[in-house]
Amino acid sequence: MKKVWSRLKAYFYKPQVQQTLVDLLRTIVSLLIALAIGIVIILITSKEPANTIKTLLFAPLQDDFTFGMVITQTVPLIFTGIAVTIMVRGGQFNMIGEGAFFAGAFIGAVLSAKLNWPWFLGPLIAMLFASLVMGIVGYVPAKLKASLAVDEFVSSLMLNFVIFWVVMYLFNNVFFDPDYSNLATPYLEDHQKLPFLNVDNEVSIGIILALILTVLTYLFLYHTKWGYAVRMTGDNPKYAKYLGMNVKRIVIVVQILGAMIAAFGGATFLLGNSYRFTWKALPNYGFDGFVVAILAFNHPLLVPFAALLLGYLRVGAAEMARLSDVPNEIVYIIQALIILFVGGQAFFVRLKRKRLEKALEFSSCKEAEEKGDA
């Protein structure tokens, strides 16, 4: 028993474990503070604050269909969160996920309707093709960064609007249904869409695809040589180059992968939950991917939990806006406050320093004991 306790204590006092625990505590405290501020705003603005707060916090659990909405909202956030995580782990702050998600949804809807192939084959081909197309587009800011040192944040942000207007031109003039009353792509039959896991709450198999992608991303980043090279490049590109890693190639690859994953997510989301593409504005899921990645500490296995939290809050806010006198914009205030506190480097920095010092002190004592026993 003493040996087990000693091993647990040694693991607990590892510097990496202490840092992770402090980061987790900082996220929880940030969430609680943000929720508290949101509740104060509700108390000030609502005529029935008790019912409004209850709706915000518990409405997503009221029935299977509403909780299904939470899962549905979680799916695109997982895809864009994973896309951002891969790019940020490689040291690239690329914003192309927004445009890639939008274009991926459009390409998926159009191609799946055109193919009209047997069940699941058509949607799968459409999703993969959307991913391939946006991977090619994602090569542009990646190559500019690798070859000309053009800031990928600026170039990808501008590229989002190029993607948007190209899609809108094709949507308005080429790939639309002339027999439908509003601007929309041709109708998708059931065999041209992803099937539902549960017809009652309309949750599609997109959630399974998102979770599979999460596991594959984790295995790629932490259990392959390529993943190690990506993480090393993101942490210290000069040292990675010194070790003989092709830093320029990694810079390009992670940005292409991010664009492909975001596009695949867009196609998955639309083919799993809609019968037509009707979007006329960027949906912001790509930008939300950065929020998810921040909450998940850029770790792929934590992305689904961060996405679920964000999806839960958004469904709760939507129900609150429907059933009370407070608009759902309150969730964006809470979201901004969470990012502010989680991203703040000074927040909990003293506690982190103390825990790291204690971990190093424990390690030193442990080494001294081992030398004494020897």
Which residues is 204 bridged to in the sheet? 196
Look at residue 10 in the predicted model and tell me its pLDDT.
62
Is residue 83 within 8 A of residue 216, CB to CB? The reply is: no
Residues, the chain: 374
Q: Which of 273, 217, 260 is nearest to 74 (CA)?
A: 273
Contacts of 313 by beta carbon, 8 Å cutoff, 6+ apart = 331, 334, 335
Q: Tell me the torsion sign for CA atoms 365, 368, 373, 374.
A: positive
Q: Please check whether residue 187 lies inside any domain of the structure.
A: yes
228 located within any domain: yes
Q: Among 323, 317, 307, 318, which residue's Cα sits nearest to residue 39?
A: 317
Rounded CA-CA distance 27/237 in Å is 28
Which residue is listed with tokens 């006329």? 280
Number of domains in the chain: 1
**Would residue 21 count as lying in a domain?**
no
Is 42 a domain residue? no
Domain assignment present for residue 48? The answer is no
Backbone φ and ψ for 149, nearest 5 degrees, come out as 55, 30
Burial (CB count within 10 angstroms: exposed 0-12, middle 13-18, buried 19+), residue 168:
middle
Per-residue pLDDT of the chain in tens (374 residues, 90 and over written 9): 666 666 666 666 666 766 777 777 778 888 888 889 888 988 998 888 899 899 988 999 988 899 999 999 999 999 999 999 999 999 999 999 999 999 999 999 999 999 888 777 899 999 999 999 999 999 999 999 999 999 999 999 999 999 999 999 999 999 999 999 899 999 999 889 999 988 888 899 999 999 999 999 999 999 999 999 999 999 899 989 988 899 999 999 999 999 999 999 999 999 999 999 999 999 999 989 998 998 888 899 999 999 999 999 999 988 988 888 888 888 888 888 877 777 665 555 565 566 656 666 656 665 556 555 55
Cα separation of the two ends of the chain: 22
Structural domain boundaries enclosing 101: 64-332
Whole-number Å distance between alpha carbons of 278 and 184: 5
Q: What one-character DSSP code corresponds to residue 192? A: G
DSSP per-residue codes, 87-134:
HHHTT----THHHHHHHHHHHHHHHHHHH--STTHHHHHHHHHHHHHH
pLDDT value of position 71: 95
Q: What is the largest CA-CA distance in the chain?
A: 85
Would 41 be classed as within a structural domain? no
What are the percentages of helix, strand and coil residues in the chain, rounded to 5?
75, 0, 20
Distance CA 338, CA 254 (A): 27
- What CA–CA distance (Å, rounded) separates 286 from 288? 5
Q: Is residue 53 part of a domain?
A: no
Distance CA 222, CA 241 (A): 19
Whole-model pTM? 0.89
Distance CA 192, CA 206 (A): 14
CATH number of the domain within which 81 lies: 1.10.3470
Would residue 358 count as lying in a domain? no
CA distance 191 to 366: 62
Predicted local distance difference test score (pLDDT) of residue 172: 95
